A and B are shown apart, each in its own frame.
Chain A
Amino acid sequence: MSAVKFAGGRKPGSRPPLGRVRPISRNSLQSPSLVQEAAYINTRMVHVLTSLVGAKCELTVKSGKVFEGIFRTYGPKVELVLEAAHQQKADISPLGPRVEEILDTIVFNPSDYVMMQYKDVDLNFAAREGFTDGVIVRRVNGEHQDRELEPWQGGETANDDNSSLETDVSNGWDPNEMFRYNEENYGVKSTYDSTLSTYTTQLERDDSEEFQKREARAEQLAREIEATTQYRTHTNLEDDERSEEDKFGAVPRRITTAISSERDKESPGGIHPRGRYVPPNQRSRDGLGRGGLRQNSPKFGRQSMTSASHRGGHRYPEQSGSPILESRPLAGGSRGPPVRSQTSPSPKPQVDALPMATIITGSLPAACSSGSFHTSPPQPGSHVPISAQPVLLSLSASPSVASSGGLQVSSVTTSPRSPSPVIPTEQPRSLGSLESHSSSETDTSGRTQMHSPAQDGQEADVLPEPVMPGDSALEPQGIKTVTPGQSTTTWTLSTTTRGSYQTISDVKKNSLEEFKRFSEEFKLPDEKSSVGATETVEPGVPGDSTSLVTGSNDEVRKGLTGSPSTVSDSTCAEDKSDERGHISSSPEGELEKGEKPECEAEQTKKSTLNPNAKEFVLNPSAKPFVPMQKQVQTPTPSRPQQVSPSVMVPQTAAALCSPQPLAGYPTPIIPLSPVPTGYTMPVPVSQHKPYRPSKGAMTPVRSEHPHAQGAQAILHQVSMAPVSAPPLVSYSPAFMPYSPQHFPNQPSLMAYQHPHQGGAVYPSLMQGGSRVLATTQMAPGQPGLVHAPSSSSPQFPPPDTAPHPQTIYVSPTPVPPPYPPPPLHPPLHPHPGSLHSLAAHPSQAASAHAGQAQHNRPVPSPVQHQPAQGPQPQQALYSTALVSQGPHTQAAGYPPPHPGQPQPIYALHHPQHHSYNSPAALAPNQQVHMQSGLPSMGPQPHAAHTAQVVLMAHPQSSAHSGPPPPPPHQGHLPLSGIPSMPVSSATPFAYMTLQPQRERLSVVSTRLRLP
């Protein structure tokens, strides 16, 4: 080694050795063959000379002359190199040589010099180093010698190697050595006797009572100690085989493929209220979503929106904002679940979702509606107390109008994602009703129970949580929160659709059949959901006409809430769920800050509920509850909405509805309601019917819209819808229930809900980019169809995109109304941009929802739609929306879109919604529409759908502007239907399976697709 370094030593200019000179003494032996490098081979010589580098030296040559210089290096033959050397002469001044007397470098051959003297040399100079880590290490390992490397000649004898390593005790004491040492030096003889008799006194056991007493006492104490939790904790820690990372990792990582349980957890985590850890991504998303909502809200001019809007924003963000994590969850929840449902889980989710969703949505919508209506927290609280029914009622009422679509969507999403989970959560929200639902739902599956508990524990929280669970079920990840909202919305939508269509019974039957089919066909990842869900759905659908109705109501509510949900969605499904569960806590919060407190309380509840919600994946059973609650709540909500629509709207508006609710909402709502009805009618007979009912309600809703509830609801719905593509499936079912329930139970309520839905939808659309997205989502969700499409579109598309989408579309039809509003919003907010924003939002929402996937899916379909109709419709819608917004100019707004009337807008929206609703595809479609001129696309697909829908709408809420809606829907439906078809196929199927309506929807969707 040194040889190389010193190789250049001979040359005058050669530089001093570089690098560390390491002793190689042991290995280095002088070898004759290496004469030239002899000096370098002698490590000790090398070491000594190297350590003298830089030292002043006096070299004496044979002649006796002395040269003084600085030793630089030496060559292989020990040629010495001096720097700045000068010859010592008598004439040189004692002060030193002059420059001219100095030679830069001199090389002395070994044959010329006698000796070289270094004066006052510190031999340890080079060895001394600073107190650095490197030095310390070097000291510690100073004895380290470079070992000769030996070629590895094993590989087969791994065992031997291991043994060699294990048996290598050279580094420690051998036990026997220690024993011997101790014995020799300390006279202590060691043994392996475990009794340690040498050191301790042995216990003498006898039969005396005293001893036995003591022994018993000792055992008792031991038991006591061992029984303590602390002891167990420590023991568990010791026995815990998990890695430290798992045990103490501060941030539990979500697994995309996550198990339902994990999903639940995640969803909770995503949800703030639940108190679980919210991944930064989600948070940011939430923030984004909120921001988006806020933006929307500003447009609406709502003040209090901030908190609520924030919440809503969070949810939205999750869906859209946090596309990957949360959005995926959301999307996944909606989409993923739907897909799964389609494959296997979808059936379950759908079934469950439908019932559950309905219930949930009902509760949520109720909450939303109530919240939206109830600007003040008290109302929400009251609603909550009221229980699911009130909520449902409110939901149904509001949903019926605008929210119906949203609800449907949400329901759909829920179903797809994790029917059970969602439902549970929703149920919790619905409160008492939830329990009842849970009972019914529980029958269907464990979910309901879970949900009910969750609900009980956390009404408001439950909603979000449920959503999360649903997501988790469908998609374990962050989507949960979003999904919940979506799911709820989807459910509501489905319910609404059902409700809208009195044919519900038929629809239900169909849906039940479909559900059964799905359950059978689809192998749901979620064991329970598929089977239980299907079962539950069936019961729920036929038997639970009320439940369905409620579901529809819920949908409506969701639609209503949907707007809120959009907001809440942004915040996270949590908020939505919370809002809903709390009776629109989220909506309220979104809509009205004053309500926020309640919302927060709900959220807190939710937080607690969240865990439960997760557990209660089987919420589907909850559906029954939802209806009840919805109905009950709806009334109150509706009032609240009316009462403090403006307030609510502003808040929510910021989130989703606010814009719509304010001015344009009413109009939008109206269109929506009509549209929905029309849509529902045309598309999925059953579903549409439900929707129509909702629409019928929507008329009321419209009235409400002004109030802002509608807007909120719409927003929520929208958000919900987008959030939960899966909901699409649920939507159809939900729709079924909704229509029946709503109508039967509370027409007025329905109306309220409708308005809400419509408003919500509008808001979403209206709100603009973020809102638009939300709306897109929402819209789909609101319409039910829309939501379903958005969220479900991804999921659904695979399965029965076409049919289901259609169905969904049908349900969306109701949604369309909401859409129109959205368009309005766009106009207000520049929907073109809003479209983009929607697209973006959708993307966000989608992302949040798992929307990413959904969005992606939707996007394609939507894109198509958009191209075809999307652009026109959207624009028209937007324009119309703008127009409508101002005055609710539903007609105005609508007309522009397709026929140049409000309806067209709806149609556009509807198409999207339809796409969303029908399957997850619908949502996608919507999204797509939103994103890339979905309107254009949407319109065409929707056209067919719309037509159907329109029909539906007309029947249900002809008064509401049923006619207008239909047109839009038709136009949109065709477009959306087609696009949505692929995406949402699964969802539609799910819906179908879920409820007869769904089947109808699916049929419609198929029809639509065909076109």
Chain B
Amino acid sequence: MAAPSESVSVGSRVSCLTCLGQKIRGEVLAFDYQSKMLTLKCPSSSGRAHLSDVYLVNLALVKDVETLLESTEPPPALTALNVTKLTRRMNTEVGEKMSHAHALSMGVTPEGLQLFQTIQKTWTPIKVSKHLEDDHEKWEAPEINFKCHSKGIKDCKWNEKNIIVMDEVTISPPYRMENCKGSEGNALVHVRKIVEKHFKDLEVQKAAQQSPGLAQPAAQQRDTPLAL
């Protein structure tokens, strides 16, 4: 790496103690001597293998930096980045957060918010969503190809307190299965299944007496394809 710092090289494991007393350990991703910025990669706090927590540490406000393990391997090659994808992600995240904030401001119940997040992040057969978007008639397709999943139902928005899914299904408070309304079709069936599973999981969580991690169910479901 280009970092001139003798003490920090890419790939090394270091431990930093910030001025606030936070101790951070991680693998050096990058170090910029000029700005004294250090990026560290730590295992994900959620424990997922392919994810990780990244820290950008301002060494100017760090009490101590300790190199735990000096790296001998050359730094990994840098890959090209899909900036478009990054930009999209940012806009999506911002949009979701703002949408969530708006919904919250509208007085949507926590259940509703949770359901909304769940629906948003539920793996949805691409066929369904696509059909919903493209052609109503195709919704009548008897079978759903579960092998093809989209990343979730992005076409999900708030309308007052109602959740509008794919412009087809409306879920009104209290957001139960019976509150799902819309033209009969795969979309409605699919949404109902999502709602059903959402509350089932929620009950399971409560039963587990887990701390009020309302967001966790959704987070867990995020990468778990909806079992219909």
Question: Measuring CB to CB, which residues of chain A are less than 8 angstroms from any residue of chain B?
Answer: 15-23, 25, 28-30, 35, 38-39, 41-45, 47-56, 60, 62, 64, 70-72, 77-78, 80, 83-84, 93-102, 110-111, 113-129, 138, 142-143
Contact = CB atoms under 8 A, between A and B. Distances in A.
B2 A28 contact: yes
Contacts of A42: 1-3, 30-32, 34
A52 B1 CA distance: 19
Contacts of B88: 54
B105 A38 contact: no
A54 B105 contact: no
Given A70-B93, A114-B20, A143-B77, A43 B2 contact: yes
Looking at B24, B80, B101, the one whose CB has the most chain A CB atoms below 10 A away is: B80
B172 interface: no
B69 interface: no
Interface stretch (B54-62, B121-129, B139-147, B185-193): B54-62
- 10 shortest A-B CB distances, which residue pairs? A38-B34, A54-B90, A23-B78, A54-B89, A44-B30, A126-B81, A45-B30, A118-B54, A127-B79, A53-B86
Contacts of A28: 2
Interface string B150-185: 000000000000000000000000000000000000
Given A116-B55, A122-B51, A138 B87 contact: no
B131 interface: no
A47 B81 contact: yes
B148 interface: no
A125 B54 CA distance: 13
A43 B75 CA distance: 12
A801 to B, nearest CB: 71
B2 A121 contact: no
Contacts of A98: 101, 104-105
Contacts of A17: 83, 86
B45 A120 contact: yes
Interface in B33-53: 33-35, 37, 39, 41, 44-46, 48, 50-53
Given A38-B32, A95-B113, A114 B57 contact: yes
A799 B123 CA distance: 86
Nearest to A53: B86
Contacts of A93: 104, 110
A754 to B, nearest CB: 76
B158 to A, nearest CB: 12
Contacts of B57: 114-115
Contacts, number: 236
B206 interface: no
B86 A54 contact: yes
Contact of A118 (B37, B55, B62, B90): B55
Query: Binding site of B, secondary structure by majority: helix, strand, loop or mixed?
Result: mixed
A53 B80 contact: no
Contacts of A38: 32-35
Interface residues of B, number: 66
Interface string B68-111: 00000001011111110111111111100110111011000010
A99 B105 CA distance: 6
A279 to B, nearest CB: 46
Nearest to B214: A94
Contacts of B98: 84, 99, 102
B132 interface: no
B103 to A, nearest CB: 9
Q: Identify the interface centre among B29, B61, B82: most chain A CB within 10 Å of its CB.
A: B82
Given A102-B98, A110-B58, A127-B79, A119 B53 contact: yes
Given A48-B54, A54-B86, A125-B85, A35 B34 contact: yes
Contact of A120 (B2, B44, B83): B44
B53 A39 contact: no
Contact of B2 (A41, A62, A64, A100): A41
Contact of B52 (A23, A84, A101, A123): A123
A91 to B, nearest CB: 13
A110 B35 contact: yes
B105 A114 contact: no
A126 B89 CA distance: 9
B10 to A, nearest CB: 6
Given A44-B2, A49-B30, 14 more contacts: A20-B82, A23-B79, A29-B2, A41-B2, A48-B39, A60-B18, A93-B110, A95-B100, A95-B214, A115-B22, A120-B46, A123-B54, A125-B89, A127-B82
Contacts of B78: 23, 25, 43-44, 47
A51 B2 CA distance: 18
Contact of B80 (A35, A101, A115, A138): A138
Which of A50, A56, A80, A126 has most B Cβ within 10 Å?
Answer: A126
A135 B224 CA distance: 27
Given A83-B94, A95-B113, A120-B44, A53 B87 contact: yes
B19 interface: yes
A142 to B, nearest CB: 7
A115 B58 contact: yes
Contacts of A44: 1-3, 10, 29-31, 75, 78
Contact of B110 (A80, A95, A101, A119): A95
A875 to B, nearest CB: 67
Contacts of A138: 80
A16 B83 contact: yes
B89 A116 contact: no
A38 B101 CA distance: 37
Nearest to B46: A120
A246 B21 CA distance: 81
Contacts of A119: 44-46, 53
Nearest to B85: A126
B87 A127 contact: no
Of residues B35, B44, B46, B92, which shows the largest number of chain A Cβ atoms within 10 Å of its Cβ?
B35
Contacts of B52: 120-123
Given A44-B10, A102-B98, A21 B58 contact: no
A986 B117 CA distance: 92
Contacts of A55: 54, 89, 93
Nearest to A52: B54
Given A20-B81, A23-B78, A120-B51, A56 B93 contact: yes
A126 B87 CA distance: 10
Contact of A94 (B41, B51, B81, B212): B212
Contacts of B212: 94
A82 B84 CA distance: 18
A45 B31 contact: yes
Contact of B39 (A45, A94, A101): A45
22 contacts: A20-B80, A23-B78, A30-B32, A38-B33, A39-B32, A42-B30, A43-B78, A44-B31, A50-B83, A52-B54, A53-B87, A54-B88, A62-B19, A71-B90, A96-B113, A110-B35, A114-B57, A120-B48, A120-B53, A122-B52, A126-B85, A126-B86
Given A39-B32, A42-B32, A99-B102, A16 B44 contact: no
Contacts of B1: 25, 42, 44
Contacts of B45: 119-120
Nearest to A122: B51
B18 A21 contact: no
B30 A47 contact: yes
Contacts of A51: 81, 86
A101 B83 contact: no
A972 B149 CA distance: 86
A124 B50 CA distance: 9
B83 A115 contact: no
B83 A84 contact: no
Contacts of A126: 81-83, 85-86
A53 B89 contact: yes
Contact of A117 (B35, B55, B79): B55
B32 A84 contact: no
Q: In the complex, which of the residues B34, B48, B62, B98 has the most CB atoms of chain A within 10 Å of its own CB atom? A: B34
A55 B32 CA distance: 21
Nearest to B42: A117
